[in-house]
Amino acid sequence: MIKTKNQYINREISWLMFNDRVLQESADKNVPLIERLRFLGIFSNNLDEFFKVRYATIKRIVLAGKKGKSALGGEKAKDLLAEITEIVINQQSKSLEIHGDIEKELESEGIYFINEREVSESQAKFVKNYFLEKVSPQLMTIVLNDLNQFPLLKDTEAYLAVKMVHKAKDIDENEKEIVEKRYALIEIPKGIDRFVVLPREGDKDYIIILDDLIRFCLARIFPMFEYEAISAHMIKITRDAELDIDNDLSKTFIEKISSSVQGRKISDPVRFVYDKSIARDTLEFLKGKMRIEDTDSVIPGGRYHNRRDYMDFPSLGRQDLMYDKITPLPVKGLSLEGSLLERIAEKDYLMYAPYHTFSYIIKFLREAALDPKVKSIKITVYRLAKNSQVAASLINAVKNGKKVTMQIELRARFDEQANIKYAEELQAEGVKLIFGVPGLKVHSKICVIEREEDDLIKRYGFISTGNFNESTAKIYTDYTLFTANAAILKEVKIVFDFFETTYKIYKYKHLVVSPHYTKSLFKKFIDNEIQSAKLGRDAYIKIKMNSFTSYEMVDKLYEASRAGVKIQLIIRGVCCLIPGVEGMSENIEAISIVDKFLEHPRVFIFGNEGNPKIYISSADWMTRNLDNRVEVGCPIYDEDIKQELIDTFEISWGDNVKARIFNGEQNNIYKKNEQPKLRSQFAIYDYYLNKINSKNREV
């Protein structure tokens, strides 16, 4: 293949463009107002994680004296850091403008944000009492001037940098008053709601942000200092979140991960954000004490940081300013009453959360826990809900004498501590735990149970594109296949065998398993389409994923495009492929959909000369998923489910309201056409609702 300058889009820049699509949602006046604020929170939270992980990785490359060009899409690491910082500063500026617009629109709805200078006399009493009763007991305040060592600031926590100015009565030798400055830090408490709702006045709601409530009460925090002026400005740092796991053989794997997570608290800062209205001397004092260089990612921001808290902005009883809640639908033909296993024994079923209720997974596990004929349950876990019914069901199974095996991934990014807690709890209850494969993360989403029927063992199970997490299942879209297919579930069991005997590589006839087979098998399927196109036959590929960063797979699709294969990609996040380039990718189109729900499925459809091959998978086409993780892709054999996956893909592809077009300019332009408006997430819900209604009409 001819190498061109514009062959790939850098993955970090593409990720920032994804976050820009999130920011677009906060600016979209068709999105309910409170939801727009919450999208601002998602934008901010995403950015925090980006700096902890991706920016930190590139910075490590720079500090190691490496250029890292091949891994970074041809860009020098140092240049890329500068480009990222420039983009982030522009996005932060845009987010502040959007926030200001939203505040004005909220005022027209009778919702007012007030700061410490706008507190009325009637509100002052409430604010002071709230501070004394709830805030003051939780405040961590540190006076800095006399400290020998600057305190360790917590990762992504917000702090108020306080400056007190006092003019001494003494004068210096030039007969000038001596100005004394005293600095302090106040950590914004995490255990208190960031948005304090004040007593309603008439038909108006008033909110003061916790930061401003603290500013209003500064005199109550520093009564021991005589100052003539006091100011408080927000700062925060972001630390490198990479896990450095030691090789101490005397430690258990849980101990190593736990120690590594603790190490994040003292890892190197990778970003320093400050209120751009802070006094220059205060800023320089802080930077000097924290040894922050101008070459680091130092980003001026607004008055408030940690806008991620807007994800939990209070509803204020204003349902009219939020998305309508959907009622999750039943899967056609699969009732939550009676035995799920009996129905699954007859045919496969597909659940598509959140359009369908996640209760099927809990019902499956609960039934398996109580069924006397069920002998064992094996399941992989990546992220669990805070109060997980999945975990409770597995404990229930152990108490009923079932042999329960769980592969739990302790290195699930930012869920390490939660998974360690669950691992210890489940282990204490008698669940057999497997802690992964050396050098590989386990990201597969699989479960298999063994049931004794007529003196034989029959297997039932489910394979999913997403986590077994009832909380995220309300906002993440994911497919789960329930099946009793003996051939598929035999291979699911083989995956669990691999977890326990990692030196042995198994062969699979049905599943597509990373790290050994995913890349080669998908390449084979692409080659089949290339061959069909060369023979003048209809050839196409339709793929839906979260991210697409494997240059090897990008090149393979370029090859298919040049052969005449028609390719449609729906990629929510990062996409390193550039569609529509003559001689390289003119037969490839790609879109991204960002809307009410987080698009999370991985679906692969290959034309196969009129008999489509269709797979769902836990794996994106990223190097880590293909080469460095245990992932499982599952073929769809049921013709009705095949059609369902094709239908829902086509609905998503037809989106002309929330779909953005990928192109070389990365300008996130919306997909517009002359077709009637189609908002795919709403249309997919209607699709499944019509399935239920058509069944009822048949009855």
**CB 173: neighbour CB atoms within 10 A?**
5
CB neighbours of 470 closer than 8 A, spacing ≥ 6? 358, 361, 362, 385, 388, 389, 390
Q: Does residue 443 have an active-site annotation? A: yes
Which of 356, 443, 510, 516 is labelled catalytic?
A: 443
Helices 56-63 and 77-108: crossing angle, nearest 10°? 150
Are the beta carbons of 253 and 410 closer than 8 angstroms?
A: yes
Query: Residue 672 carries which side chain, given as an amino acid letter?
Result: K
Are the beta carbons of 462 and 481 closer than 8 angstroms?
A: yes
**CB 277: neighbour CB atoms within 10 A?**
11
Question: Across 286-401, where does the E strand assignment appear?
Answer: 298-301, 349-353, 374-381
Transcribe 55-103 into DSSP letters.
IHHHHHHHHTT---TTTTTT--HHHHHHHHHHHHHHHHHHHHHHHHHHH
Q: Which two tokens stand for residue 430?
A: 């008698």
Q: Helix, strand, coil shares of the chain as percentages rounded to 5? A: 40, 25, 35
Q: Convert 437-465 to b/e letters by CB count within 10 Å (16 or more is b).
A: beebbbbbbbbbbbbeeeeeebbbbbbbb
CB neighbours of 328 closer than 8 A, spacing ≥ 6? 353, 354, 355, 356, 357, 358, 359
Q: Which two tokens stand for residue 171?
A: 């004068």
Are the beta carbons of 344 and 448 closer than 8 angstroms?
A: no
**C-alpha angle with apex 36: 107 to 589, nearest 5 degrees?**
150
Cα–Cα distance measured from residue 513 to residue 285, given in angstroms and rounded to the nearest whole number? 54
Burial of 584 (0-12, 13-18, 19+ CB in 10 A): buried
Q: Which two tokens stand for residue 337?
A: 């009453």
Q: Which two tokens stand for residue 665?
A: 């300019």
Q: Which residues are tagged catalytic?
A: 443
